[in-house]
Every structure is written in structure tokens, then in C-alpha cells.
Amino acid sequence: MADLTTKYLGLSLSNPIIIGSSGLCASVDNILDLEKAGAGAVILKSLFEEQIMMEVDASLREAYRNDMIYSAKSESLDYIDLHIRERTLSAYIELIKEAKKRLMIPLIASINCVSSAEWTNYANRLEEAGADALELNIAILPTDENTGADKIEKVYFDIIEKILSKVKIPVAVKMSPCFTNLAQMVKRLSATGINGIVMFNRFYTPDFDINNFSEKSSNTFSAPSESGNVRRWIGIMSSRVDCDLAASTGVHSSEDMIKQLLAGARAVQVVSAIYKNGKEHIQEMLGGLHRWMNEKGYNTIEQFRGKLSQDKNENPSAYERIQFMKYFSEIK
Amino acid sequence: METISDILKSERQQAWRDELRKSMKAKERTSIPRVKMPEQDPHVRNKNHSEVNLGLTDEMAIKEAQRCLDCVDPTCITGCPVGINIPKFIKRIEQGEFLESAKTLKETNALPAVCGRVCPQEVQCEANCFYVQKLKKDPVAIGFLERFAADYERNSGNISVPGVDNKNGIKVAVIGSGPAGLAVAGDMIKWGYDVTVFEALHEIGGVLKYGIPEFRLPNEIVDVEIDNLKQMGVKFETNFIVGTTATVDDLRKEGFEAFFVGSGAGLPKFMNIPGENYRRIFSSNEYLTRVNLMNAANPDYDTPVFSGKNVAVIGGGNTAMDSVRTSKRLGADRSMIIYRRSIEEMPARVEEVKHAQEEGVEFMNLNSPVEYFADEKGNVNKMLVQKMELGEPDSSGRRRPVPLEGSEYEVKVDTVVVAIGVSPNPLIPASMPELEVTDWGTIKVDKDTMQSSVEGIFAGGDIVRGGATVILAMGDGRKAAKGMHEYLKSKVGKK
């Protein structure tokens, strides 16, 4: 029987399926169900800096509408953002503590941050609560025309430096694919001392409702077709980086997972497929991986992991091809 | 039915008021500049604990009272949470009838000497004064005049004790002896109830005693007002923690038929930044309570507080100002306010900020601590402070403080006081699971009656608002007393 275990961020996983940071991992009961269904690890729902700020605004509006909550002269109201952040963080810490009491698989905490402000100070409290590792979901949309690329990139390194100085548990960075020189950025990030990079963040994309002239959200779930770019970059970078790589976005089937492992990923993050097909889908994906490994004669994941990465591929230039030459110019 | 507005109008039409109005032209009145409150010299007062404001003389008070135009529509009253008949008490001062003025104050306010000292008048009655609204001039100094009348009465020895109705034998319990509880007690005793106030600490007065320093509100002033309530028949039980010493159910068995919960917000909040647990980092509650109530400024006492030389106080509210000014009086060379917004956004009373500046407090606005460090004994010895800038406004319209990346710098400190707000006291809600509370732990009440989700239990002040002013707490207390009175009347009617 094939051994599906893998190592990610130095943690031993019973298999490469990690349930990505999402509402699926927002309660202890759900997390325990995911473990029972066969997940190799879980990443808790992210603590969102942006979400906390929205809650602050809602609380302020409510407080000013109803002075029975807070009077305008109250010092508590003056620092309400800190208090809301603390309340959210305390609830998150409780979630980690409760889950850790009952969970056997690794539990990874996740912070979604857009700045290196005081937010990073909370990392060691997540560590103290018992998180096995920390995933930093750094999501910066560069909309400010006055801010240069170097300044934006520096935020990544500042956050990492601060976090690494605070915690001893492994740290992974979930990054965006939008960099002018992605290879260099990935390489530089991997050299900071972090233990893993997750490729890639999937951004919320606004859409329009043309009948009501309003904004609406576009596809909430990923599609398997979105995994191609992730596969490319894992394939290009897996042999060049100083840390583990995990694939995220578009991993819906055992075949998607196998491809990412062949590209060099140590694990895959799955969310949309579980939302669409239920927790039972984990067993289907693991069954598929198992069957494929048996068919190909592999006993362990390490025997084939990275087999099709750029450096081991017979046609390394394929990774760098960006035009469909065969279709458009008949040149293969 | 006669409305409040009708009563105010008919009182305004009384002959003495009419005569007084005619005694001086409006133009003459408006040309008088606002009175300046005599104060101790800043360099003297920052070394003692005596009251900073010295109070108006009779002449100053009369002159200031002359500024009041005795408006047909007294908008100032709408700004007062307890609805004091402001023109009437001021005109009594102008008339020289200071004791009558004090009596008017006591019709609606159980603690006039307190409110005259600690209310944020600039955003309440004075903000609604005709001078501000229409003339764009300094408002009539309503707060100073309130204090004057109350002090005059106290010093005269002719303290009026408001009359009370015949005893009805119905027992009501007031939990907490802060401003909300005292206001409830004052009204309920007037209406003939048998009122007992239960106080957890050894002193009566709640936040008025433990939270506000002597130099702003002398304890003696509070004691006189409490003594007044005692004379009216209110009973006080100190060192009695409802929820521990006895539960609400225990008290019900003893015959109490209605309860007012005014247990305040005594749980300090912290920023939860690294190093905040080091020694000599205090909550403002602890710092002020120890100095105000436990004589901790006296090194000969059992529990003296450390008198730091470099003291940083975090926050921009009244508690922060009280703490930083206290540190100055305890001998600090450098007393700093570290506030993350600018001075315009500070929630503290304008007068407290002014006094603190005069006394040599250093205001480090647009700064926020990010980490504390300690010596080998665990005593805080420096802090890392980050500079801030003001970003986009939040939904309250105030600009959000935004950290300036890379702007951190170190400040040497040996004492830190954190004054960024408090949480409601959880004891009563914890001992009564049926009592509905908000996400913030405050008790949910009906806004009109102040009744909680449990019949016969009313609440007000900080336990409902999460942190308010003395006068708002008193306003809640008065509203709750009315709600409780109606509740008990209907209960008796049903029997």
C-alpha cells in the first residue's frame, strides 16, 4: 500500500491534502469533521485585518446611532478598533486552543495582513495558543500610483522579518502571483528563513451587475483551469527555493493534486472542491492518488515529487513559453 | 397635561424673573466677557493634591449670571442629561439668592457640586447656549455657576435636604454607589421607597471617589452630597459585593422588590502589546484607585504606588489626564501623554487638557506604543513608540490613526499607565445568566425605562454604556428611577 505521508513546513502530514484557510475551518466541530474525513492538515480561517476594520466601522456607526452602547466621550470608544481586534483575536486564540485539545493533525493559523504594523505583534499569541505553524496571507493590491514596486515588495520582507523575530513555529507565506520578476521575488522570500511559500493567493475580483448598475462578486470558487499558472511556477521554482512549496487555487481532483506534486509541491491546499462536493471529496482525492501511485509503482510521494519540475523536465523551455505557438503559427 | 415646556414657561413668567430681565439690556449682558475661573498657580498645584479650580467669588458669579439672557427657548436645558432648569438657577444667582439657586439644582440633580466640576459642559449645556448657537461667542459658564451655587450652600451650613414622601415600605436595592446609583437613590427616596445602596468597596461614591483625583473632585465634596442622601433616609452597605456576598435572589428573599444595577465598568482594557505585563505598567484604574482611595501617594502607607520619574500615560481621555496629572504630583520629572490621534480628537474635557498642559505635561500626540522592555528585575525601563498619521475618516467622521512604517523610536520610562478604556463589571451578569448582555458585556436595557431583560431589574451608567460621563450615568439613574417607580406602582396595583 502506498505511503501518502509528506513533510510540509517540517510538519508530518498523513497525506498532502491541506484544507485551505476558509470558512470550512472556522469552528472546532468543522475542523474535527475535516480531520475525520481524512485531511492531512487544516489552516484556520484567516484573521483579516480588513474584516476587523469593517467591524470597527459598523460598531462606530452603531455607537453613534445608539448612545446606550458607548458615549462619544468614552475612552473605550476612542480605542474601539483595538478592542474589537482584541476581541476577535481572543476568539481566534480560543478556537486554536479548543481545536488543539481534540485534533491530531497539524493546525496552521493564518493571518491576512496588508501592513507590517502592530498586527504582527499578535503572532506570538497564536504560537502560545498552540498553533503548529503560521501562514501569512500577504495580500497587497498595488492601487496607489505614487508607490513604487520596491516599496510594496519591502512590506513583504518587513512583515516576515517581524514575524520571524516573534515566533519559533514554522512560517509560510501565501503570496500573490503579480510581481514583475516573480522568480526573483519567490527566491528572495524563500531565503528569508520562512519554511514555505504557498502559490498563490486568489483575490476577490469585483464584477458588475449591468442591470442594477452595482458591484457584485465574481466567481467565488476556483476552477481547475486556474491551476495551470500555479503548476508552472511551482515547476519553475521548486528546485530553486530554500523552502517548501504548496499549491493553492484550482486543485479540485486527484489528478490536479498529482500534477502539483509532480511539479514539486509538498502539499496542496483545497477549498473550493470541498465546498462544492462536501468533505467526502477528500477521500475521493486520496483514493485517486493512491490508485495512481499503485499503477505507476510508487511507494512514497518523494519518489515522484518534482519529477516534472523545470530542472528535471525533458522540455524545460515549455515552462517559459507564454504563447500558443502550435495553434497560432503551426510551430511546435 | 402640563408639559415640562409649560412649566418652564410659567416659571419664566414669574414676576421676579421678568423684573430681572428688564433690569439690564440684552446688549449690556452680551458685552460682558465670560468669567475666568481662578486657579492655583500651575507650578504650585502640580506639587499638591488640592483642588485646581478655586471657585468663583460672589461678585464674579453674579456678573457671569448677568450674561445669561434667560431665553424664551432655553436650548441649554436640552443639552443637560438630567434636565436642570438652567436659566432659573442662574437667575437666582443674579438675584443674589444663592441658596435658592442650589435648591433649584437639587430639584433634578442629586450631585450638583460634583457635576459642576466634572461634567463636559462644553459638549452639553454650554454647547447649546444661545451665545454659542447664535452669537458665536463664549457660552455662559454654566458649569462654573453650578459649582458656585452648590459650594455656597455647602459652605453656608444651610444645606437643604429635599423633602421626601411618606414611607411606602417598599424595599429597593441599588447595586453600586457611583453617580448612576446615587441618582436612583436620590429619586426613589424622595418618592417614599426604602432604599439601600450596596457598595463593593469600603468607600461610597464609586468612580467619583476611586476614579477622579482630589485635585479635580475632592472626596469631601462627594461625602457632603452622600451625607445629604443619608439624611433623606438612604441606607448604605459597604464591603458588600452583590453576586458574591449575597446574590440578587438572596436579596429578593429579604424583601427587595426592585433592583438597579449600576456596578460600573471596572475592568481595565489593555493594548495587548509585547511587554505589557512588566512591573510598573498599570491600568489607570489601579493607578488612580490606589492613589485616590488607598492613600498610595503616601510612602508610609502599606501599599504605596511607585513614584516614577519618567511616566508615560497611554490615552487621551479624562482618565488619561487624571493619571498623567497625578504622576506629576507624585514627583515625576517627565509626565507624558502618548496619544495616537491629534489633540483635536482627544475625548478629554477641554479644561483637563488645558490644565495638564499648564502643569508641564508633555503631549506626544500621533504616537502609539508598540512594545515595552524591562530591566533584569522585570521593571519597565523603556518603550518602543511608533509615530502615526491621520488617515481617512472612519464612520464616526474622525480620521483614523495610521502607523508610519519605520518610524519607531525608544522612550525611556519607569512607569506606564494604560488609560484606553474599561469593560463592564462582569459580576452581576455572570451571576444572572438570564440577564441579556451585549457582545461588549454591557447589560441590555429598554431605552425609556432602563429595565433589563429581567423583570424588576433596571440598569444604567457604565454597566449599560461601557464607559460614559458622570452626568450621563446620572441621567440613566434618573430615568431608571422613573421606570422603577412605574413598575412598582403597577406591581402594587396588581396585588
Task: Tell me, yes or no, if the two domains B4-156 and B268-422 fold the same way.
Answer: no
CATH class for the domain made up of B4-156: mainly alpha
Closest-CA distance of chain A to residue B225, Å:
25
d(CA B443, CA B433): 11
3-state helix vs strand vs coil in chain A, percent to 5 = 50, 15, 35
Q: Is the pLDDT score of B108 beyond 80?
A: yes
Higher model confidence: residue B119 or residue A40? A40
Cβ of B425 under 8 Å from any chain A Cβ? Answer: no
- What is the structure's pLDDT at B152? 96
Q: Kindly give the pairing relationship between strand A133-138 and strand A171-175.
A: parallel
Higher model confidence: residue B226 or residue A203? B226
Within A40-102, strands assigned E span 41-43, 47-48
Portion 136-155 of A in contact with B at CB < 8 A: 155
What are the residue ranges spanned by the domains of chain A?
6-329
How far is C-alpha A6 from the geometric centre of its chain's CA atoms? 18
How many percent of chain B have pLDDT more than 90?
A: 74
Helix or strand (DSSP H, E) at A331: none
Alpha-helix runs per DSSP H in B202-346: 207-210, 219-232, 248-253, 284-293, 318-329
Nearest to A11, CA basis, from A125, A131, A165, A174: A131
What are the residue ranges spanned by the domains of chain B?
4-156, 171-266+424-494, 268-422
3-class secondary structure, B364: strand
String of DSSP letters for B398-443:
PEEEEE-TT--EEEE-SEEEE-S-EE---HHHHH-TTS-B-TTSPB
Q: Given an 8 Å threshold on Cβ–Cβ distance, is A79 in contact with B445?
A: no
- What is the structure's pLDDT at A322? 66
How far is CA B250 from each of CA A171, B177, B408, rounded to the nearest angstrom?
54, 20, 55
Tell me which chain B residues have a C-beta less than 8 angstroms from the C-beta of A118.
273, 368, 370, 386, 403
pLDDT per residue rounded down to tens, chain A (332 residues):
789 999 999 999 999 999 999 999 999 999 999 999 999 999 998 877 667 777 788 877 777 776 666 666 678 888 888 888 888 888 899 999 999 999 999 999 998 876 655 566 678 889 999 999 999 998 788 888 888 888 889 989 988 998 998 899 999 999 999 898 999 999 999 999 999 999 998 877 888 989 988 888 777 888 998 999 999 999 999 999 999 999 999 999 999 999 999 999 999 999 999 999 999 999 999 999 999 999 999 999 999 999 999 888 777 777 777 666 555 555 44
Name the residue in chain B with its Cα closest to that of A73: B347
The pLDDT tens digits of the residues spanning B395-448 come to 777 788 888 878 999 999 999 999 999 888 888 888 888 999 988 888 999 989
Nearest to B197, CA basis, from B147, B166, B170, B236: B236
Nearest to A60 among B395, B422, B438 (CB): B395
The CATH superfamily assigned to B268-422 is FAD/NAD(P)-binding domain (3.50.50.60)
Residue B162: pLDDT band (50, 70, 90) is confident
Q: Which of A121-135, A203-217, B177-191, B292-306 has the lowest mean pLDDT?
A: B292-306
Q: Amino acid identity of B367?
A: N
Closest-CA distance of chain B to residue A98, Å:
21
| Mutation target vs B (from A49, A52, A76; most B CBs, 10 A cutoff) | A76
Q: Is the pLDDT score of B298 beyond 90?
A: no
Closest-CA distance of chain A to residue B371, Å:
9
d(CA B477, CA B400): 34
d(CA A304, CA A299): 9
ipTM > 0.90 for the complex: no
Nearest to B271 among A76, A82, A166 (CB): A82
3-class secondary structure, B240: coil
Tell me which chain B residues have a C-beta less than 8 angstroms from the C-beta of A144.
none
- CA angle centred on A272, ends A268 and A273, rounded to 5°: 75
CATH assignment of B171-266+424-494, among 1.10.510.10, 3.40.50.300, 3.50.50.60, 3.40.50.10490? 3.50.50.60
Q: Given an 8 Å threshold on Cβ–Cβ distance, is A71 in contact with B315?
A: no
* C-alpha cell read off for B422: 474599561
Which residues are registered as beta bridge partners of B362?
B336
Residue B341: pLDDT band (50, 70, 90) is very high
3-class secondary structure, B161: coil
* C-alpha cell read off for A118: 502592530
Q: Kindly give the pairing relationship between strand B256-261 and strand B235-237.
A: unpaired
- What is the structure's pLDDT at B215? 93
Side-chain half-sphere CA neighbours of A100 within 13 A: 17
Q: Given an 8 Å threshold on Cβ–Cβ distance, is B315 in contact with A78?
A: yes
Q: Given an 8 Å threshold on Cβ–Cβ distance, is B467 in contact with A70?
A: yes
Q: What mean pLDDT comes out for the span B223-250?
A: 93
d(CA A310, CA B231): 91
The domain over range A6-329 is classified in CATH as 3.20.20.70: yes
Higher model confidence: residue B159 or residue B39? B39
Residue B360: pLDDT band (50, 70, 90) is very high
Question: What DSSP designation does A87 have?
Answer: H
Q: Which of A65-79, A85-99, B200-214, B285-299 has the lowest mean pLDDT?
A: A65-79
In this structure, the number of other CB atoms found within 10 A of the CB of residue B54 comes to 12
Cβ of A165 under 8 Å from any chain B Cβ? Answer: no
Mark B216-254 as b/e (b = at least 16 C-beta within 10 Å).
bbbbebbbbbbebbbebbbebbeebbbbeebebeebeee
Cβ of B470 under 8 Å from any chain A Cβ? Answer: no
3-class secondary structure, B360: coil
Cβ of A56 under 8 Å from any chain B Cβ? Answer: yes
| Mutation target vs B (from A62, A75, A92, A147; most B CBs, 10 A cutoff) | A75
The sign of the dihedral angle between the CA atoms of B17, B23, B25, B29 is negative
